[in-house]
Chains A and B, each alone.
Chain A
Amino acid sequence: MSKQINVALIGNPNTGKTSVFNALTGLNQKVGNYPGITVEKKEGICKLPRGLKAHIIDLPGTYSLNASSLDENVVIELLLNKNDKDYPDVAVVVSDVENLKRNLLLFTQIKDLEIPTILVINMSDRMEYKGISIDIPYLEAQLKTKIALISTRKNKGINDLKELITKYKELPAEPCLDASVIDETYFNNLRKVFPNQLLYKLWLVITQDVNFGKTDRATYDKVEDFKTKSKADLKRLQQKETIKRYQFINETLKKGQTIDLKSAKDLRIKLDRILTHKVWGYVIFAAILLLIFQAIYDWSSIPMDFIDGAFASLSEWTKNTLPEGAFTNLLAEGIISGLGGVVIFIPQIAFLFLFISILEESGYMSRVVFLMDRIMRRFGLSGKSVVPLISGTACAIPAIMATRNIESWKERLITILVTPFTTCAARLPVYLIIIALIIPEGRFLGVISYQALTLMLLYLLGFGTAVGSAWILNKVLKMKSKTFFVVEMPNYKLPLLKNVALTVLEKTKAFVFGAGKIILALSIVLWFLASYGPGDNFNNAETIVTKQYASKNLNEEELEQKIASHKLEHSFIGIAGHALEPVIRPLGYDWKIGIAIVSSFAAREVFVGTLATIYSVGSDEEETIKNRMAGEINPILGGPLFNFASGISLLLFYAFAMQCMSTLAIVKRETNSWKWPIYQLVIMSGFAYIAALIAFQVLK
């Protein structure tokens, strides 16, 4: 049996830590969550020489071991808890050759914890370009470590790193500087009371509230006595510590690294001059957004039409091939139709994640934060709220988690509350199908299709509502909180294909499987409710309908359709839908749409799947969802059910309503109270109802 060791990847944000992780693990990785919290946990397996295996864990990026967010806290909890099953046998600190000075701060802290450590200096391909040269043996001696100079972009040095990990037992584990000199009496005292404990560990416990596992807590209980120093004093000491570390680092790098500024080229300055320009910066940002929407609408329509058709044929084929019976019907009408409703929007989600991951990877997202901060502040948001608002176009759940780096609690809370207004991927299938039904084809000025333009307007409506409600919340919420704002402006980088592809693959997979489970379950339930019903009206449908139309001389096919729709109306779901109808009729919907809306409160994308399931029950022909919807007639007003008025009304309802249980759960978790998600549910959905009502009544 081969031996397995734990390796932790640690580093500042923007050092290419994830690229190193991808290079080591390839496709042998999985993404989950840390137990009890919503911080993403990435782990993978890497095969090393001589039959050794490494379990690699990619820890959240952090600038130091002084945690200020939940994500950063994960790093410290792991490094301080020797009993954790993931406690590293070796820590790999990833740094970027252009930001070595800053990256080394975290490195020196980790060295103080006496964990065997390897320093990875990434992006070595940039050295020549930037005129940087490094004295590796000198740095290895000063920093008391082994260094792997690598380039994930050029795929260089990865094997050297693997070799170093394999020989982890030979790595030095002693600190490279003595931080206790910042207050010798204090630290000597500490050492006396806890002779068996690592001094730096104690210091970290004192300066921050780390939630230790219960077993470990007891050892540190007496530490409470050492908080005798006031908070301000402790903060001053932390500041002294940071200065001390930087002195050491600056000193070390003065000899270990030379930068020839004359031979350094700087693309950053040239790009920044345009991309953060006070006019062009915004023009370019708007153009990029437009491109994204055009891609989602236009480019993905081809695979989508194909998927739609394929599922319709599959359902038809199943019906014709398998023996007749309840199971075949469940499979063909419930499960396949329901699944088609999920699979159909894979192309769009993939496109969205593709663009978002390119924007993040290239370093452009930070420029957007910089450009937008001043504007967003007017609405009580932060420039950093732009990232959640943009990722909200994929899914509100990761977007709400992305608010964690907003320093001010008020700005963060407002961002969390308004993010669900942005048009998430789950609204997309609803929008697309309704737009296809009510907006004519053709192109505005011959370039942008009207349908894409409508979609763009819906996205703008989402952003506008988010920002507008932020403005109101900013006025209404009475809370004082300090507003700090620090954002790193990383170097521009050409996104690595491998990283982008893995992100798109992983996010799409998570989304589809997550949503798929709900949709599949609901489809089955809906199918049962639509296929069975109580009482005479349902069970004797054939006799009733035949009698009713006896004088009308219908042919067999017409009669069968009448029976099917009679059955559906008197099934369980029909009865529930009819009960609901008085509430939604003023919005222009019939009971079928009502059922779809109600089931959408589990997750919005269920809408299309539900309609697909309801409409396919009892219909024999091979038809796509869209054609079935286009053929629906409004029972009261006559004419197509999905006309301009009811279509716009539905679009507005979906734009504003809070219809996602997972988002509510995340908001509860992130705000630590039920108050905020309940406000969101009631206010957003109420607003949606009123907006849809007005739209239909005005347009009809």
Chain B
Amino acid sequence: MTLAELKRGQQGIITDVSSIHIPLKLLEMGCLPGNSVKLVQVAPFADPMYLNINGTHLAIRKETANHITIETIDE
């Protein structure tokens, strides 16, 4: 599934990042395959998404999250 489908409070592991659609800056902030991701909060209309990726808190738009593939993990 993609990161855009993650529910609030849910956790996952990033498995793939589409390098054409994702800016290097996002990768530099830790959005890389193998790193963990958790959805902390969503703005109204579920966009943008407030994430905790590899310990870094950041917000991205849903359209960007569509290009990041993840696997969910249960707590």
Which of B17, B45, B55, B60 is in CB contact (< 8 Å) with A102? B55
Does A180 lie at the interface of the complex (its beta carbon under 8 Å from any beta carbon of B)? no
Partner of B28, one of A105, A236, A366: A105
| Cα–Cα, bound, A366→B20 (Å) | 27
Interface size on B, residues (CB 8 A): 32
B-chain residues with CB within 8 Å of residue A236 when the two chains form the complex: 19
| Complex Cα–Cα for A270 and B26 (A) | 26
**Given A99-B56, A232-B20, A484-B64: A370 and B48 interface contact (C-beta under 8 Å):** yes
Cross-chain contact A483 with B56 (CB below 8 angstroms) = no
CB-based nearest B residue for A372: B43
Interface membership of chain A positions 228-260, coded 1 if the CB is closer than 8 angstroms to chain B and 0 otherwise: 000010011011001100100000000000000
- From B19, B48, B50, contact of A485 by CB (8 A): B48
Q: Name the one of A232, A243, A485 contacting B32, with C-beta atoms under 8 angstroms.
A: A243
A102-B29 CB under 8 A given contacts A239-B19, A374-B45, A487-B58: yes
The bracket for how many chain A residues form the interface is: 35 or more
B55 lies within 8 A of A486 (CB):
no
Rounded to whole angstroms, the CA-CA distance of A102 and B55 in the bound complex is 8
Q: Which residues of A contact B56 (CB under 8 A)?
A: 99, 101-102, 488
Binary interface profile of B, 11-27, with partner A (CB < 8 Å = 1, else 0)?
00000010110011111
Q: Is the beta-carbon distance between B63 and A483 smaller than 8 angstroms?
A: yes
Smallest CB separation, B41 vs chain A (Å): 5
Stretch of A24-32, A60-68, A311-319 at the chain-chain interface: A60-68
CA distance A489 to B41 in the complex (A): 11
Complex contacts, A488 vs chain B, CB 8 Å? 29, 56-58
- Give Cα distance in the complex from A171 to B25, angstroms: 30
Known: A68-B25, A373-B43. A489 touches B58 (CB 8 A): yes
Which among B19, B41, B45, B54 has the greatest number of chain A C-beta atoms within 10 A? B41
Task: Give the distance in Å from the alpha carbon of A366 to the alpha carbon of B56 in the complex.
Answer: 14
Q: Are A239 and B23 within 8 A (Cβ)?
A: no
Of the residues A98, A235, A485, contact of B64 by C-beta under 8 Å: A485
* B6 contacts the other chain (CB 8 A): no
B20 CB contacts on chain A under 8 angstroms: 232
Q: Is A612 among interface residues, defined by CB-CB distance under 8 A?
A: no
Contact B24 A486 (CB under 8 A): no
Query: Per-residue 0/1 for A486-503: is the Cβ within 8 Å of any B Cβ (1 yes, 0 no)?
Result: 111111000000000000
A485 CB contacts on chain B under 8 angstroms? 48, 59-61, 64
Contact B59 A370 (CB under 8 A): yes
CB distance from B19 to the nearest CB of A (A): 5
- Inter-chain contact A383/B23, CB cutoff 8 Å: no
Most buried by B among A369, A370, A490: A370
B41–A272 touching, CB < 8 Å: yes
Which B-chain residue is minimally distant from A105 (CB atoms)? B28
Closest residue of chain A to B53 (Cβ to Cβ) is A102
Interface residues in A33-74 (C-beta closer than 8 Å to B): 63-64, 66, 68
Known: A236-B19, A276-B41, A278-B43. Is A64-B58 also a contact (CB below 8 A)? no
Is A371 an interface residue when CB atoms closer than 8 A count as contact? yes
Complex CA gap A125/B57 in Å reads 20
Q: Does A407 contact B (CB under 8 A)?
A: yes
- The CA-CA distance from A373 to B58 in the complex, in Å, is 13
CA distance A102 to B19 in the complex (A): 19
* Distance from B44 Cβ to chain A, minimum over Cβ atoms (Å): 5
A295 to chain B, nearest CB (A): 28
- Which chain A residues lie closer than 8 Å to B55 at the CB level? 98-99, 101-102
B residues within 8 A CB of A243?
A: 27, 32-33
- CB nearest to B31 among chain A residues: A486
A238 adjacent to B59 (CB under 8 Å): no
Q: Which residues on A sit within 8 Å (CB–CB) of B32? A: 242-243, 246
Find the residue from A246, A268, A269, A407 having the highest chain B CB count within 10 A. Answer: A246
Chain A residues whose C-beta falls within 8 Å of the C-beta of B71 in the assembled complex: none
Q: Chain B 35-71, CB within 8 Å of chain A: the 1/0 string? A: 1000011011101101000111111110110000000
Bound state CA distance, A337 and B65, in angstroms?
58
Chain A contacts with B in 401-433, Cβ cutoff 8 A: 407
CB distance from B55 to the nearest CB of A (A): 5
CB distance from A287 to the nearest CB of B (A): 18
A-B contact pairs, 28 of them (CB 8 A): A64-B24, A66-B24, A68-B24, A102-B28, A102-B29, A102-B54, A105-B28, A232-B20, A242-B24, A242-B27, A246-B30, A246-B32, A246-B54, A272-B50, A273-B41, A276-B41, A278-B44, A366-B59, A370-B59, A373-B48, A374-B47, A383-B48, A407-B25, A484-B25, A485-B48, A486-B59, A487-B48, A489-B50
Nearest first, the 5 closest Cβ-Cβ pairs linking A and B are A489-B57, A278-B44, A64-B28, A485-B61, A370-B59
Residues on A lying within 8 angstroms of B by beta carbon are 63-64, 66, 68, 98-99, 101-102, 105, 232, 235-236, 238-239, 242-243, 246, 268-269, 272-273, 276, 278, 366, 369-371, 373-374, 383, 407, 483-491
